[in-house]
Structure 1
C-alpha cells in the first residue's frame, strides 16, 4: 500500500525541480532589489532636492515631492507583484506547468517608464530654472 502512494522519481528529476525553485527565488530577489532601488531613487531625489535647496520654485518643489511619492508607490507595487508572481510560479513548478507572465511585467515596465519620464521632467525644469 505504501509503495502505491509514493511517487516514482526519475533520477535527476529532483535536481531539475530544485533548480527551478532556486531560479524562481533568485528572480524574486532580483525584483525585490529592483523595488528597493526604485524607492531609493525617489528618496534620494527628493531629499537631495530639499537638502541642497536646488530650487525655490514652488512647481519644481511640488514635482520633487511627487517624484518621491510616486517612486515609493512604484517600488511598493513592484514588491507586491513580485511576491504574487513568486507564489504563482512556485505553484506552477509544483504542478509541473508553465504559464509565462506578461501582464505584470508590462504593468511594472509602464510604471517605471512613467517614473523615468517624471525624473526627466524634473531635471529639465530644474535646469531651465537655473538659466
Structure 2
C-alpha cells in the first residue's frame, strides 16, 4: 500500500523509469523461457534414450541420466539467477544506477557450454557404438 501511495505522490518519477522496468521484465521472462527450454532438453534427451532403447550399454544409460539431471540443474540455476538479477536490476533502476552483471552471464554461459558438450559427447558415443 505504501508503494502505491508513493507512486500517486510522484507520478513523473514512476513514468520516468517505466520503460526500463518493462525492459527488465521482458529480459527476465526471456531468461525464464531459456531455463524452461534447458530443462526440457534434459527431459527430452533422457526420455528419448529410454523410450527408443537405442543402446543397452550401461555407460550410455548412465550418461543419459546424468545429462538429464545436469540439464535440470542448469535450468534451475538459470531460473534462480534470473530472478536474483531481475530484483537487483529493479532496485538499480529505482536508484538510477547501472551495474553490469558479467559474472552471472559468464557462469550461465559456461554451464550451458558444458551441457552442449555433454550432449555432443552423448551423441558421438551413441553413433560410434
Give 2:19's aligned residue. 19
User: Deviation above 2 Å: which 4+ runs of structure 1?
Assistant: 6-9, 13-16
Q: Distance in 2 between matches of 1:63 and 1:8?
A: 56
Give the number of aligned pairs: 121
The alignment's TM-score, normalised by the length of structure 2, stands at: 0.90
How far does residue 14 in structure 1 lie from its aligned partner after superposition? Answer: 4.5
Q: Distance in 1 between matches of 2:112 and 2:52?
A: 26
**Cα RMSD (Å) of the superposition?**
1.4
- 1:41 equivalent to 2:41? Answer yes
Give 2:76's aligned residue. 76
More helix by share: 2
Q: Distance in 2 between matches of 1:26 and 1:121?
A: 34
Give 1:128's aligned residue. 128
Q: Deviations along 1:20-61, whole A, 9 cap, x unmatched?
A: 000000000000000000000000000000000011011111
SS state at 1:63 partner: helix
SS state at 1:68 partner: helix
Q: Distance in 2 between matches of 1:19 and 1:90?
A: 12
Give 1:110's aligned residue. 110
Q: Deviations along 1:50-75, whole A, 9 cap, x unmatched?
A: 00001101111100000000000000
